Amino acid sequence: MLFETFAAGGCRSYLLGCETSCAAVLIDPELSLTDRYRGRLNQHGLTLRYIVDTHTHADHFSASLALRKAFGAPVAMHRLSAAPFADVRLDDGEMLIAGTLKLTAMHTPGHTHDSMCLVMNDRVFTGDTLLIGGTGRTDLPTGDPHQLFDSLFGKLLKLPGETLVFPAHDYKDRGHSTIADEIRTNPRLQKTDRAAFVEMMHALNLAAPTHLTEALRTNMSGGKTVGQLLSEAACGVPFLSMSELGSRLGGNSRDLIVIDLREKDDYDMGHIEGALHLPRGQLELRVNSELPDPTMRIVTCCEYGKISVLAAATLRDLGFMRATALDGGIAAWREAGFPLEPSR
């Protein structure tokens, strides 16, 4: 069996490959690693048969939908998952088979109601149910400490002690553990009384994940992240460097319109010479009156160079095919020593 672990911060995902059939399974893929997964699959000549999310993630962005579109492989989740794009909905004890790979779903609610572990031969992929030296939290949507207690002590920890544990997060830099090691050393598993365990989980008082709302929104619905919107827009928009724009201002600017998308107060404090003030929120409503010539060359700019990319993409969609975005924003322009002029 081919086996590889991928890391993105504290997140862990796993690629399993059957050497006989070249079938592969990818567990808990992270969106920022999409190209790395693609590269490994191609490198090893593997065909992706299943993409599995062990639960609805609230702390990172799943790559499942993007990989499904790229490879045509079905997404497998527990049957209680809210994700509309899940093709295979697993119940407790059901199995995925890809060549010689056989993974059995073990429903382990607690961290989320759709949490499951995947048991395969000598190992178990525990998602966020059991971590190395910890467990998944239970204070996020659909979490329940009582269910987690039952999932751990009633199911997962009854696996053979030598079973290797591969979680969806690793904050100990250990890569993997075993069921026996966790029973012996994991502080949270020392609370074997239900009431004591539940009290401990309620008292954790953990900070909310950085991307909680966006992660839940995208992972539950299949919607796009802000990063995906920016990336997709950037693929269809050319950029103009600050030095190139600087050289074209003044006497050479007749064939060029600079659009400043910021709000009025920011624009008035200082803007690029001759820039037209057109706030992003008014762009579509005023574009016909402010930009009567669709053949003009346009450069969009904003404070940090992100809204300008979306605006340039919108202008191109509207037929302004020479719309470009400034590489960097007004903040970078200012830091580079290029001049800004205040409104009079």
Per-residue pLDDT of the chain (344 residues; tens, 9 = 90+): 899 999 988 899 999 999 999 999 999 999 999 999 999 999 999 999 999 999 998 888 899 999 999 999 999 999 999 888 899 999 999 999 999 999 999 999 999 999 999 999 999 999 999 999 999 999 988 999 999 999 999 999 999 999 999 999 987 778 899 999 999 999 999 999 999 999 999 999 888 777 777 888 887 788 888 888 888 888 889 999 999 999 888 765 567 899 999 999 999 999 999 999 999 999 999 999 999 899 999 999 999 999 999 999 999 999 999 999 999 999 999 999 999 999 87
Interacting residues of 61 by C-beta distance below 8 A, sequence separation 6+: 30, 31, 32, 211, 214, 215, 218, 219, 225, 227
Interacting residues of 166 by C-beta distance below 8 A, sequence separation 6+: 5, 12, 14, 123, 124, 125, 126, 176
Q: What is the pTM of this model?
A: 0.77
Enumerate helices (H) and strands (E) in the chain, giving the number of each.
12, 19
CA atoms within 13 A on the CB side of 238: 9
Alpha carbon distance 261, 283 (integer Å): 8
Phi, psi of 81 (to 5 degrees): -60, 140
Map out the domains of the chain with their CATH numbers.
Answer: 2-223 (3.60.15.10), 227-335 (3.40.250.10)
